[in-house]
Amino acid sequence: MQGLLGAGLGADRVRPLVVGSATTVVVMLLLFSGGGIWSLVGGQDLHGAFLPKYLEAGRALFDERRLPLWNPWELCGTPLFAVIQGLVLYLPAPLLFWLLPPYWALQGLYAVNLLVLAWGTAIYLRAHGIGALAAALAVLVTVDGVFMSYSMVGFDHPNFLGSVAWIPWILLAWERAVERGARPWLGLAALAVGAQWLAGYPDFPLDTAVLLAVIAVVSTGATLPRRLAFAVACVALGTALVAVQLVPLAEAVGLSFRAQAMSDYDGPRKLFAIFSSGLFQPLVVDRFGLAALALAALALWRPTRARLAWAAALVFAVCAGDPPISLLYRLPPFLGVRYALGWSHIAPLFVGFLVAAVVQRAATGEGRAGRATILVLALVVAGGCMWTIARAPRIMRPVAPEYEVIAQRVPVLKQAQNTLPGRPRIIASRETDAGMTVRERMASASGYDPTMPPHRIKRLIDAVNGVPDPVVRGMIVERNPRLAGLMGVGLVAVARGAVPALMKQGFVPVGKLPPNEVLLYRAPVPRARIVHRAIVAPDEETSFAHTVDAARDLEHGTVIETTEPLPELADPPTGLREDVALVVDQPERVEISATLAAPGFLVLTDTWYPGWLAEVDGTSVPILRADHAFRAVHLPAGAHRVVFRYAPRSLRIGLWISLAALLGVGVLLVPPRSVGAEPWR
């Protein structure tokens, strides 16, 4: 990093950091003037899905000194590390949420992402002869565009801003690699690509890779093959660098409902089709404003090759939802992208670059009338962006959880769960929407998961609810309490009006929850149980049909999905006692003591998932699918210690790829001896 941190920090090296810091302070003050990003948000994602995972990642990494691979508190167990929205390896997120209260940690995360964006933009634009004030304006345009995107989802999704923030660094390092050689710039470009992957949504790096290729085609500075080769190399190396995250992610996507729903993605993608859906006015003109678009157009009057490249990238991003560019979504990996969010949020960056370029031209060489016109438009753009950023926290829907009320409810829920037999799983809509099952480590059979819940667990939840839903956001237990009980649900928080229906089905009140809910209990199917009878199901559909069969004995039998003959089973002799008890219950390790009077299955109603391994008395045994979505191991008669460990092969494969890529990046980061350290400025 000699170019960034070399000896003798001069003014040229410090100025971009000063510009970036000042711009970050301005934007954060504007956000604070509206209350910050917390109370009014665009949906449940921030509080229900993101913040709980950030908190859990920080707690696991820095308090418990472990990598948080598994989330046992939602959906009967689901991956945590593999869900990239959890930002486990994007260290600013877990570190801030470990050090600070959640509100301040979230503001800090936005500030970090803003600083990365503003600093990188200042350095990159300075390399193109654009000064500090113009660069600051580019950042304002970018932040405004990210926040005011379709449905304003960019406002309360830290991952979106974090993804965009690394693009100026990628462009700068790639340009330096093309102009000055691979070392150290190609290595730095790969690091920036890796950071973008870790900072946010997978479709952002995919879209950035395409836009980098577009820029490589239009730019100058070397031969076209060299420009494209370096673009491909930095993207490939940066992606390999974070394979430790991406290989488990790919596995999780394949086992989620997304893999079954890909044929339904055309509709969501068309929401971002500018021309074929007639959305040019709201998604381009209204979003960026006529003043910013006019300045961007003026930048193409006697343009440089860099401005043409930015314009080409902007046009490509704006039109990505329309044919022929939308044909990308017929190809992997774009085939698995549900919403075309990346293009929409990256486009403002290139609008900002073009605006900054024309403002800089006016400041240095334009005629008096032209200069006055451009500067007036620039002031309009700056004022509009600052006004939008300041009011953004006040114009969203008020969907933030009532944490004051939840704070009174959580002790009641935790006490009930910890004292009632078998630690039953909880269904409580307020806590689900606030992500409290993860934050307070209260096990639930459901959760709030808008991204990729395990397919089979989601299918069982849909069966309980009676209707499919593309987003898992709770469970309507009264519609099928029997199947909910199979999933371990024994505690349900409901409004008073729903109490009679549940009491008729065997629930009894065990507590009151403010403001006006009742907590009810019915003994669920035990989380760990011994069974001696099993139905064989050769495939998923048969397994599901038998599992939801209302006539089946849930507690004393199970459905085993296999094409192989079942191992020996026998009914226990009359009068002999069998015992099963949880000895260790940790996220990535569950130990069970079991005593059987006859051969049978130990069934654990935790999600069956690749990477879980089982040992019986120290000997590895296969884990079978039980009751469509859960785990079972066969046990002979006698006393046994059963250990379930989560050690996913996908993580090991990804780690080896990442280590190999890290070695390559390390070699590239060493500057050639014949070339002095070039300042990155």
**DSSP-H helix ranges across 571-648:** none
Final residue of a domain: which of 506, 521, 536? 521
Nearest CA-CA partner of 472 in 454, 488, 484: 454
Is 656's pLDDT higher than 80?
A: yes
Is 4's pLDDT higher than 60?
A: no
Q: Which of 7-16, 336-345, 521-530, 619-628 shows the lowest per-residue confidence on average (mean pLDDT)?
A: 7-16
Over residues 397-420, the mean pLDDT reads: 93
% of the chain at pLDDT higher than 70: 96
Over residues 102-111, the mean pLDDT reads: 98
632 and 599 assigned to the same domain: yes
How many angstroms separate the CA atoms of 490 and 353, rounded?
56
Is 476's pLDDT higher than 90?
A: yes
How many angstroms separate the CA atoms of 154 and 344, rounded?
10
What is the per-residue pLDDT for 674? Answer: 57
What is the per-residue pLDDT for 681? Answer: 42
- pLDDT top residue among 163 and 8: 163
Phi, psi (rounded to 5 degrees) for 359 = -65, -40
Average pLDDT, the chain: 92
340 and 411 assigned to the same domain: no
What is the per-residue pLDDT for 5? Answer: 36
- pLDDT top residue among 11 and 378: 378
Is 677's pLDDT higher than 70?
A: no
177 and 316 assigned to the same domain: yes
Convert the pLDDT of each residue in 58-92 to its tens digit: 999 999 999 999 999 999 999 999 987 789 999 99
What are the respective helix, strand and coil percentages of the chain, to the nearest 5?
55, 15, 30
- pLDDT top residue among 679 and 641: 641
Final residue of a domain: which of 381, 397, 413? 397
Structure tokens at 421: 């037999």
Helices then strands, each counted (H, E), the chain: 29, 19
What is the per-residue pLDDT for 366? Answer: 63
**Is 190 within the bounds of a domain?**
yes
What is the per-residue pLDDT for 680? Answer: 43
316 and 455 assigned to the same domain: no
| Bridge partners (DSSP) listed for residue 491 | 426, 521
Threshold 0.85, pTM exceeds: yes
256 and 348 assigned to the same domain: yes
How many angstroms separate the CA atoms of 462 and 594, rounded?
32
Convert the pLDDT of each residue in 588-602 to its tens digit: 999 999 999 999 999
Is 651's pLDDT higher than 80?
A: yes
Structure tokens at 320: 């990505």
How many angstroms separate the CA atoms of 132 and 166, rounded?
19
**Is 71 within the bounds of a domain?**
no
What is the per-residue pLDDT for 676? Answer: 46
DSSP run (H or E) holding 278: none
**Is 68 within the bounds of a domain?**
no
Convert the pLDDT of each residue in 279-333 to its tens digit: 888 888 988 999 999 999 999 988 999 999 999 999 999 999 889 998 898 888 8
188 and 262 assigned to the same domain: yes
Is 2's pLDDT higher than 80?
A: no
**Is 655 within the bounds of a domain?**
no
292 and 331 assigned to the same domain: yes
Total count of domains within the chain: 3
**Is 76 within the bounds of a domain?**
no
Identify residue 281 by its one-letter amino acid code.
Q
Is 369's pLDDT higher than 90?
A: no
Final residue of a domain: which of 397, 415, 434? 397
340 and 477 assigned to the same domain: no
Q: How far is CA 634 from the centre of its chain?
A: 36
330 and 467 assigned to the same domain: no
Q: Which of 4-13, 179-188, 475-484, 671-680 shows the lowest per-residue confidence on average (mean pLDDT)?
A: 4-13
Is 3's pLDDT higher than 50?
A: no
Q: How confident is the model at residue 499 (pLDDT cuts 50, 70, 90)?
A: very high
Structure tokens at 664: 């390559």
Tell me the CB-side half-sphere exposure of residue 47, using CA atoms within 13 A. 22
Number of neighbours of residue 647 by Cβ within 10 angstroms:
12
What is the per-residue pLDDT for 678? Answer: 47
How many angstroms separate the CA atoms of 431 and 403, rounded?
9
What is the per-residue pLDDT for 470? Answer: 78
Nearest CA-CA partner of 141 in 396, 384, 392, 395: 384
What is the per-residue pLDDT for 535? Answer: 97
**Is 151 within the bounds of a domain?**
yes
- pLDDT top residue among 666 and 151: 666
**Is 306 within the bounds of a domain?**
yes
Phi, psi (rounded to 5 degrees) for 452 = -155, 70
Q: How confident is the model at residue 8 (pLDDT cuts 50, 70, 90)?
A: very low
**Is 676 within the bounds of a domain?**
no
192 and 292 assigned to the same domain: yes
Q: How confident is the model at residue 261 (pLDDT cuts 50, 70, 90)?
A: low
Is 398's pLDDT higher than 90?
A: no
Over residues 462-491, the mean pLDDT reads: 94
Is 422's pLDDT higher than 90?
A: no
351 and 448 assigned to the same domain: no
Structure tokens at 379: 């002031």
Over residues 161-174, the mean pLDDT reads: 97
Q: How confident is the model at residue 263 (pLDDT cuts 50, 70, 90)?
A: low
* C-alpha distances out from residue 362 to 298, 307, 355, 365, 377, Å: 10, 15, 11, 6, 11
Domain enclosing residue 489, as ranges: 403-521
What is the per-residue pLDDT for 149? Answer: 81
316 and 207 assigned to the same domain: yes
